Amino acid sequence: MRMLKLGVAAAAMIAASLSAQAEEIVIKFSHVVAASGHPKGEAAALFAERVNERMKGKVRVEVYPNSQLFNDNKVMEALLLGDVQMAAPSLSKMEKYTKKFRIFDLPFLFKDVNAVDRFQASAEGKALLNAAEGKGVKGLAYWHNGMKQMSANKPLISPADASGLKFRIQTSDVLEAQFRALDANPQKMAFSEVYGALQTGVVDGQENTWSNIYTKKFFEVQDGITETDHGILDYIVITSSDFWNGLPTDIRAELEQILTEVTNERNTLSTQINLENKQKVVAAGTEVRKLTDEQRAKWVEAMKPVWAEFEGDIGSDLINAALLSNE
Ligand code: LMR
């Protein structure tokens, strides 16, 4: 009789544990950059670590870095199909879902990441987070990377140096216009293909942050890097509205709480991480070219017409709000 009771109890425990396992929510978080030494890689890893520790048995986050699961543009489709639950694409890659993020690609609009942070924290910036909700994509947070630098297979000092060169760009019409303004040939291409394309000469140059240039070794296949700081590369942490709205309220609240903590902690470190990556590029013997104020002013002037081209889509009020964040 006792044996029977123990048997029943064990069976009940197994059933309970199986049902607990079955109820664990798995969040696949896919991104394209390095897992460590990179603002986004580190933020995604910390988010997973905190959720897996504090929500053990209820939610498990699995991070897939380095385009292991999906590359930049495919990840949004995967999100809507339910193949992944979270991602953090750059704002430049959201064009298919909203044109509102075009503001972030305007060249020489934000003077640094702190200005971007102030803009994103403003009423206008917060409202933008929901810009793609109509397409089923929910914005949860902004994550910082940093300012972009430019490189090619020859020195870039004046805008005329870029003329006629092929540049890899993210899938953004603003970035396309930016390189056309330099009389260059922009080519939209997935991040995972950039190193190979630079190495084989499919493209001559690229623009990216120090952390992407170092961790993906672009500096190895370029003549040098010009410190242009001409634009921002920042991220939006996204999920599908269906998945998010389907979560139990308490689970959603706890995930939001952890995401806010991680966002606040990691965003303050992005500039430092980019600086460290820049130092590694320098230590590798790559020439880093600084521009004088006069030289930089020429790049500003050459790219300025891009603003007028997209002002209609973005709205002059929003551009003015962004400009105010520089002060
Ligand atoms: C790029 O494609 O250059 C970047 O968006 C990659 C990234 O996620 O930082």
DSSP for 96-160, written as a single string:
TT-SGGGGGGSTT--SSHHHHHHHHHSHHHHHHTTTTGGGTEEEEEEEEEEE-EEEESS---SGG
Stretch (H or E) spanning 255: helix 249-267
Q: List the residue whose alpha carbon is closest to atom 6 of ligand 1.
A: 191
pLDDT of residue 23: 84
pLDDT per residue as tens digits for the range 106-147: 999 999 999 999 999 999 999 999 999 999 999 999 999 999
282-308 average pLDDT score? 98
- Atom of ligand 1 at shortest range from CA of 32: 8
218-234 average pLDDT score? 98
CA of 56 to the centre of ligand 1 (A): 31
pLDDT of residue 73: 77
Q: List the residue whose alpha carbon is closest to atom 2 of ligand 1.
A: 191
Pocket test for ligand 1, best of 32, 144, 209 (most atoms within 8 A of CB): 32
Q: List the residue whose alpha carbon is closest to atom 3 of ligand 1.
A: 191
CA of 305 to the centre of ligand 1 (A): 25
Which are the contacts of 236, defined by CB distance < 8 A and separation ≥ 6? 88, 89, 91, 94, 101, 129, 139, 140, 141, 142, 143
CA atoms within 13 A on the CB side of 18: 6
Pocket test for ligand 1, best of 72, 150, 273 (most atoms within 8 A of CB): 72
Contact 128, 147 (CB under 8 A): no
CA of 10 to the centre of ligand 1 (A): 51
CA of 132 to the centre of ligand 1 (A): 19
CA of 58 to the centre of ligand 1 (A): 31
CA–CA separation, 288 and 223 (whole Å): 10
Of 249, 236, 243, the C-alpha closest to 85 is 243
In 173-287, at which residue ranges do the beta strands (DSSP E only) sit? 185-188, 205-208, 224-227, 232-240
Please provide the CATH number assigned to the domain covering 25-325. Answer: 3.40.190.170
CA of 290 to the centre of ligand 1 (A): 23
CA distances from 95 to 90, 135, 167, 171, 175 (A): 10, 12, 19, 8, 11
pLDDT of residue 8: 54
What residues line ligand 1, using a CB cutoff of 6 Å?
A: 32-33, 72, 90, 145, 170, 191, 208, 212, 233
79-104 average pLDDT score? 96
- Atom of ligand 1 at shortest range from CA of 92: 5
Q: List the residue whose alpha carbon is closest to atom 1 of ligand 1.
A: 191
Residue 28 dihedral angles phi and psi, to the nearest 5° = -85, 125
Stretch (H or E) spanning 55: none
- Atom of ligand 1 at shortest range from CA of 190: 2
The answer to whether residue 17 scores a pLDDT higher than 60 is: no
The answer to whether residue 273 scores a pLDDT higher than 50 is: yes
CA–CA separation, 203 and 80 (whole Å): 32
pLDDT of residue 14: 46
What is the pTM (predicted TM-score) of this model?
A: 0.93
Which are the contacts of 298, defined by CB distance < 8 A and separation ≥ 6? 158, 159
Contact 262, 50 (CB under 8 A): yes
Instruction: Look at 8-17, 242-251, 295-304 and tell me which has the smallest mean pLDDT.
Output: 8-17
Joined together, the tokens standing for residue 29 give 């978080």
pLDDT of residue 11: 53
The answer to whether residue 4 scores a pLDDT higher than 70 is: no
* Residue ranges covered by each domain of the chain: 25-325
The DSSP output letter for 91 is: G
CA of 8 to the centre of ligand 1 (A): 55
Of 110, 116, 31, the C-alpha closest to 66 is 31
Contact 32, 72 (CB under 8 A): yes
pLDDT of residue 59: 98
- Atom of ligand 1 at shortest range from CA of 93: 5
Return the amino acid letter for 64.
Y
pLDDT of residue 6: 47
Q: What percent of the chain has pLDDT over 70?
A: 93
The answer to whether residue 21 scores a pLDDT higher than 80 is: no
pLDDT of residue 294: 98
Q: List the residue whose alpha carbon is closest to atom 5 of ligand 1.
A: 90
Of 129, 182, 138, the C-alpha closest to 301 is 182
pLDDT of residue 18: 45
CA of 265 to the centre of ligand 1 (A): 21
CA–CA separation, 209 and 50 (whole Å): 27
The DSSP output letter for 74 is: H
pLDDT of residue 225: 98
* Mean pLDDT of the chain, nearest integer: 94
Which are the contacts of 264, defined by CB distance < 8 A and separation ≥ 6? none
CA of 18 to the centre of ligand 1 (A): 40
pLDDT per residue as tens digits for the range 169-222: 999 999 999 999 999 999 999 999 999 999 999 999 999 999 999 999 999 999
300-311 average pLDDT score? 97
CA–CA separation, 76 and 240 (whole Å): 9
pLDDT of residue 199: 98
**6 or 143: which leads in pLDDT:** 143
